[in-house]
Structure formats: structure tokens, C-alpha cells
Chain A
């Protein structure tokens, strides 16, 4: 027979405001097994915990129930209290009378009644609780970073700095991500490449970092500390070890008409290419979709000109299996498609471009070698119109994205300012709904665009853009003047909303990491655990978690690295004590549990059993690897013979709780 203590918390007025805590404590005192019952203002305080410890000693408690907030808040606290007083921590149950009771009820009578029922339920469970001891699992001291943009690079550098090996898996032939495509960065206007490429070089030269470019994660198994990841290294038809990156092949390749994705299709590249001059690794890649040799077997120019002999047309995709202790998702973002917003004539005119295209157009290494000209006729534009919030802040998925893309206000101010600075003969108009510039030196930056550079900021949205002859007729609202205005512009720049990279959704499925409706990764807690995924061992870095600018991305990347390091320094991880176990006498060997287990924790073994008639029989029975089991309980539901049970949440305990609720 258990000797149970009950402790009812007021939580100030949070609970005591709608629940008569004294009545709850009095009612629960009469429940079977209860030998002590009390209430207190804050059970989680030091004084409250001391009260529990004293009661354990004075009344020889074998277990206790705390009627308080959600177990997500303080279950760990009270388990520690139990341990400090010599009790097994799994002899503690929490009755959630705050989130599930006082916060949702307004009537004291109803609230109190429900709190008593919840307390009675927890007591029924403690009556059947048994002491549990968690197992331990080893930690593979190595991290995987998925995505090689500024977020992934920073996370990898910081982890490597602490002495742990890191692999960066990047789908593109080079690391660098979106930042490599950006010309200048706000609010300091320093050149993006000048601050990014040294970091790329650092990553390449760091002997703890391995860069797996042109590769994809195709499968993830295991759990925190012990992930097993399958990585596909796509065939680049060039031997990475031998290629010197001289670039001769990229000059001689006769296939010249491949749209250059690095310049967003505004110019062309060859079928064998190096994305940009500072690419890392600086090796050529053959684009199999365009290479004549790979498609028809006739050509071979690149192999002929390669002095290093690095070209290998027979190369195949390579599948590798690697073990990691922690995984960081850093899959980044993309601008959304402008197709649904044809009122802006993006598909009708080459002179309607997105902001990222403008970055390439202004970049010295871009399609126009930094000449700011119209894509249609190569003429210098004089009137430029910027449209903000294209596809951001929309109601419903049919219109666009519901969220604010966060970075557009600042980069538009940057673009407007740079254009006015370099070409004072231009008129620049920015149509805005709101200018959102929170951030260090951000609003000052925007004000400079207006006050020093004479950028015309107009409150209102553009309704439509009509290509008319040489120019683009922009019809827009000037809300403050209460006018509809027409501007004949030479160039229109759309601040396209950003969305998570398409690879994020399948990756989240592999990682069993949760996502929001917009496919951004969800953090474990929006305020207090912003760089961790709710899945243990999976961390978040950069824009895959939400729209972010570079400074914020780098901060989050370093924060994720700190969390990874905190995990990798541990030699052993304490496992969950509430794991599944199989009653071998009842197991019929059907393998159902093995099939439903998402963690691969269940195996089958042949075992000898003594039968009642003194003969022996070999039977196939399930065995749970307790270091691998995460206690999800799927097997206990699937088991047709009722052999599987979850420790701490056994079928008996759950049924006792149901009985207590229904009493």
C-alpha cells in the first residue's frame, strides 16, 4: 500500500482565483492511499518544496501528487524534489489544475469540482506507480548541419571551434547560399561577398569541417545522440579530389545556353560550370540536364581540355551512411513565385524584376557586370518604382503568405539609397503599406534614404502595372493625398515575399521535427527555446525557422551551435525511463510492434520457454532496446495480445485514471 501526499498549489491567484484550494486539499485527504494533504501559495518555491520534503520524511510518503500547473512547467522540478528527499522521482504525479482547470473555468464551483476530479485521477495513478530507473545512451560526438548558407556556415564554424567534427550537407555545388547572391548588406552597406567569402574559406580550411556539397540527406534514423543519416552525394561527373578549379572547361564547353540560376536566369552559363568565382569547393560540376556528352555520348570537350584529368562521365550518385549526435536544420528560404501576381506584369515585361534579381543586376559579378541597366534593352533606367509587400501579409493561402517577410523594408531602402547614390539622375519611388524597421540602426537607415537621398516614399499600394511602349505604366494609390497616381516607370522592382525552401518539408518528416502551416520549422518554445526543435537533438538555424535578416540569422546560428556543443560534450545521455517493455509470456511474435516503432527500438529474438507440461518450446518474442525507445507508446496500442506496455503509463494505470474520472 502506498503512502501518498497531496500538495495543492494556489499559484497566487492563478489557481486560487477560480479553485477553492482548501476544499480540494480536504476532499483529496480522504482518497485511498492518501496520508497527508495540504495547500500552499507557491509549491514550486523553495518554501513549497521544503514543505514537500518535510512531509515525505514525517509521514514516510512513498509517492505524492502535486495539483498545480502543467507538468511541462514543473514536473522536472518536483521530480528533483522527490529525489532530494530520497524518493524515486517517478513516484510523482502532477494534476494540472491550472491550464486544464482554473484558466479555462470562470465559476468557482465548477473549477473546484474539476480540480478534485483531476487530483483524484492522479492519486489513482500514483497508487499503481512503481519506481523507475532511466537507462543511459552514448553520444556520437559529431554534428550534421543541413544547409550551407550563412546560417549553416556559422553554426558549423562555431561547433568546429569547440573541437567537434561537423559535416555540412549542401544541395548546391557550392556553399554560400542566398548571401552569396546579395550585393550589399544593410544597414552598413558593406559588400556581402567581402564578409561572407572569408567565412566560406574558414569553413573549407577548418580540419573539423567537412563540406558535402551537391549532396542531399535522404534518410534519418535514430534519436538524440545517435542519429544515423543517409546522404546522397549527387554525381557531378568531376572528381572533386583532382579538379583544381582552373575553370578552363567552363570556358570551352560548347553548350552555352544554360540558364544561370546563380544570376536567377538573367544570363546563361555552360553545361559544366562553377557557380561563382569564390565558390567553395571550387570545383566544376556538369549539369546532366544540358551536357551533350551525357545525353548523346558525343562531345567530350571538357575532358579534352582538363589538364588534371578530373572529368569522369561514368560517375554515379554515391550513397553514404554517417553517424551524428546532433542535427541542425539550416535549409533557408526562397523568394516566392510572382506568377499569382500578374497585375504587376512580371511575366509580361523583362523590366519588372524581383529584389533578388536587382541584387544580381547591381552586382559587379552579375549578368551586367554591375551596370545598372534595364534587362529588356540595356538602357539606363531613370524612373524606378519599388513595390513592397508583394505576396506578404495576405489573407489566406490563395492570396499569398500571411506573415510579414521582415527583410523587405530594409533591403528596399538599401536598393533605393544605392541607386540614388550612384545615379543621381534617377527618380526612385517606394510604395509602402507600413515601413517596418525595428533593429539596431535600421530606422535611421530608412530615414537617411528619405532625408538624405531623396527617395520618394508613398503610402499606398500599386494596383497594376501595364507595359506601354517603352515604359511601364504604374497605377497606384497615394493614400495620404487621397489620389490615384500614374507613373511611367522604366523599371519596377517587386519585394517578393520569402518562403521556406521546398526541401524543408520532406526533411522535417525525416527528422520528425514539427513545422507550422507555412512550412517554417517550429521551435521548442517560441520565447525560451527558440533554436531547438521539439524533437530532441534537432536544432534550428536561420530562415528555416522564420524570416530573418543576416545579423539575426548569424545570432541564431551561433545559438544553435551552443546548444549542439552543450549536447556533444556529454559522454552519456540519460534516457527516458518511461519506455515500452514486452511481457514475453503474452507476446505472440506477430511483429506488429516492430513495424509501427518509429525509432527502430524493437527487435525479435527466439527464446526458450518452459511449458506447464515440463517440456520446453522455442518462441519468437519482442525485445525493446531501452536506450532507443522514446516512449511514444505506438507499440502498446498496436500490440494485439496486450503484451506491450509502457512503463509509467501502463494500461492498468491509465484505466485506473479513467475509473477515477468516472467515479
Chain B
């Protein structure tokens, strides 16, 4: 089993997504509010995970542009749930050694009066080990 096979299996397991259910209609990308911010779009996440081409996804800033709004999950006619794949790839990155995207020390600098505390908690959960 190659490294990329292992990565793929890990991502499929943590996400619970079966990319083979995808019929390539692109409704996920049609519905995505962060589309223009993303280098790899939701439908590409599904296809690239299916083909095992995961490392480019792990290096991409797209992982942190996904709002996790789940519009793609809601509207996918085939119940593929692309946002869960994005989440799983993101998890794979932050679980790597030194993969922390957000350190508690950074938080005071980011504080601003309009930001709900819950956003910070959620960001910590999402971006740090």
C-alpha cells in the first residue's frame, strides 16, 4: 500500500464519504459561496480523493476557505457530502506533526469586539490539534 493509498483510506474513513456515489453534476460547486476563494472546488475535492490525488489538496489554502456551510451537502443529489471530505483532508493536515494552523498564543491578537466567542472555540477545534 502506497502512502497515497493510505492517505485516501484515512480520508474516506474519517469522512465516511463514498466518492464513487458522485455523478459529476457539479451542483456542489454551483452552490458553493466560497467558490472564487478556492483553488480546488468542491467537485474537484470529490474527484481528487476518488483518484487518490490527495497531496495537492493538503497543500492547498482551499482547505481553510471552505466555510463548512454545508450547502453542498444539503444540495448534492447523490448525498456525497463534499464538505465532509474537505473537513477530513483538513483534519489529516492538522494531525500531521506541527500541523497546527492556530495557536492559543495567537488568539489575543485576533480578538475583536464583533467576533463571537463561539467562532474562536470553533476555529480552535477546526484548525489546531
Contacts and interface: CB of A to CB of B under 8 A. Distances in A.
A475 interface: yes
Contacts of A475: 30-31
A14 B32 CA distance: 52
B31 to A, nearest CB: 3
Contacts of B129: none
B25 A343 contact: no
A463 B25 contact: no
Contact of A463 (B23, B36, B75): B75
Contacts of B24: 433, 479
A459 B24 CA distance: 9
Contacts of A482: 41, 44
A462 B79 CA distance: 16
Contact of B79 (A395, A479, A484): A395
Nearest to B78: A395
B35 interface: yes
B101 interface: no
Interface string B17-55: 000010111111111100110000101100000000000
Contact of A477 (B23, B26, B77, B80): B26
Interface string A447-470: 000000000000111111000000
B78 A464 contact: no
B21 A395 contact: yes
Contacts of B36: 484
A351 B79 CA distance: 28
Q: Which of B29, B41, B71 has the most CB of A within 10 A?
A: B29
B21 A461 contact: no
A400 B77 contact: yes
A195 to B, nearest CB: 35
Nearest to B35: A484
A482 B36 CA distance: 11
A251 B26 CA distance: 50
Nearest to A399: B77
A394 B77 contact: yes
Contact of B25 (A396, A400, A433, A464): A433
A393 B23 contact: yes
B26 A461 contact: yes
Interface residues of A, number: 21
Q: Which of A394, A400, A479 has the most CB of B within 10 A?
A: A479
A507 B21 CA distance: 35
B30 to A, nearest CB: 3
A359 B25 CA distance: 26
Interface string B78-108: 1110000000000000000000000000000
Interface in A11-44: none
Contact of B30 (A393, A396, A400, A476): A476
A461 B79 contact: no
A476 B23 CA distance: 16
B34 to A, nearest CB: 10
B29 A484 contact: yes
B26 A479 contact: yes
A476 B28 CA distance: 9
B72 to A, nearest CB: 8
A106 to B, nearest CB: 26
A213 to B, nearest CB: 38
Interface in A534-558: none
Nearest to B22: A395
Given A464-B31, A479-B43, A484-B35, A459 B26 contact: yes
Interface residues of B, number: 22
A389 interface: yes
Q: Which of B21, B26, B78, B79 has the most CB of A within 10 A?
A: B26
Contacts of A477: 25-27, 29-30, 43
A257 to B, nearest CB: 37
A459 B25 CA distance: 8
Nearest to A476: B30
B88 to A, nearest CB: 19
Given A463-B31, A482-B41, A484-B35, A393 B77 contact: yes
Interface in A384-438: 389, 393-396, 399-400, 433
Nearest to A341: B75
Q: Which of A389, A459, A460, A477 has the most CB of B within 10 A?
A: A477
A389 B77 CA distance: 10
A477 B24 CA distance: 11
Nearest to B34: A484
A430 to B, nearest CB: 14
B78 A461 contact: no
Q: Which of B27, B75, B80 has the most CB of A within 10 A?
A: B27
B89 to A, nearest CB: 19
A484 B41 contact: yes
A483 to B, nearest CB: 9
A462 B27 contact: yes
A272 to B, nearest CB: 43
A461 B25 contact: yes
Nearest to A475: B30
Contacts of A393: 23, 77-78
Contacts of B32: 463, 484
Given A395-B77, A395-B79, A484-B36, A463 B30 contact: yes
A484 B28 CA distance: 10
A433 B30 contact: no
Nearest to B30: A463
Contacts of B30: 460-464, 475-477, 484
A393 B23 CA distance: 9
A464 B30 CA distance: 7
Contacts of B43: 477, 479
A4 to B, nearest CB: 52
Contacts of A479: 24, 26, 29, 43
A484 B34 CA distance: 10
A477 to B, nearest CB: 3
B44 to A, nearest CB: 8
B79 to A, nearest CB: 4
Nearest to B72: A463
A484 B40 CA distance: 12
A461 B41 contact: no
A399 B26 contact: no
Contacts of B29: 460, 463, 477, 479, 484
A343 B75 contact: yes
A32 B24 CA distance: 63
12 contacts: A399-B78, A460-B29, A461-B30, A463-B27, A463-B32, A464-B31, A477-B26, A477-B30, A479-B29, A479-B43, A482-B41, A484-B41
Given A461-B26, A475-B30, 15 more contacts: A393-B77, A395-B77, A399-B77, A399-B79, A433-B23, A460-B25, A463-B27, A463-B71, A464-B30, A464-B31, A477-B29, A479-B43, A484-B30, A484-B32, A484-B41
Interface of A: 343, 389, 393-396, 399-400, 433, 459-464, 475-477, 479, 482, 484
Identify the 10 closest CB pairs spanning chains A and B, nearest first.
A463-B30, A463-B31, A477-B26, A461-B27, A477-B30, A460-B26, A484-B35, A461-B25, A433-B25, A395-B78
